[in-house]
Amino acid sequence: MAAPPDALRQLLCDLVAIDSVNPSLVAGAAGELAIARRLTDEMRSLGLEVHVSEAAPGRPNVVGVLNGRAPGRALMLCGHTDTVGVAGMSRPFEPDVRNGRVYGRGAQDMKGGVAAMLGAARNLVDAGGLEAGRLIVAAVVDEEHSSLGAEALVRTWQADAAVVTEPTGLDVAVAHKGFQWVAVETRGPQEAGCRGRPLRRWIGPSTPAKRIRFSVPRRCTHRSSTAGRN
């Protein structure tokens, strides 16, 4: 029996209503503690074995485990509980349901995926549980900045396979490109990269092309009043 759509929608709305902006991105932001408590309660209501551990002070990962009746392989469902900031949003934590969709900060990235993980666990519980193996449902912190939660998770938990429920338009992605923070210092006139003008105009034809390459977006919504000035 599938989890009722209304119950999943309500869980998603509950999660969106919780401010979990990443404090590493926005100074003084709420962080993931409150949403971790809500997820802990949800997992316990399903009868999962719940483990809460801090990846950083006040920033807990929550892991729920559904054990099968016999040993077997383990599948992990993993999602993050933090969001980016809310600048420019008038009511970011008031979930708005329109035409079967939920709008609000984090509804897509990725509280919808986290709610779906709990919905999958509920389906298994309602169907009588697992014959063998175990399901691990992991809600981790800090994905939007340094992935402290994921790093802490893999030090303790192992699985035979994992599904990260990030939004992909329902396309299955089988690899991850990773990420890297890079600081680049340049000299010369200031220019908005989204204008699409060739960087070579500023650095000159004698600059070795192999030194660095920039990818310039075709569109940009940011406008700078000082763009192009010294």
Given the residues 32, 82, 142, 144, the one annotated as active site: 82
Within 8 A by CB and 6+ apart from 45, the residues are none
Catalytic annotation present for 42: no
Catalytic annotation present for 82: yes
Within 8 A by CB and 6+ apart from 173, the residues are 166
Active site residues: 82, 143
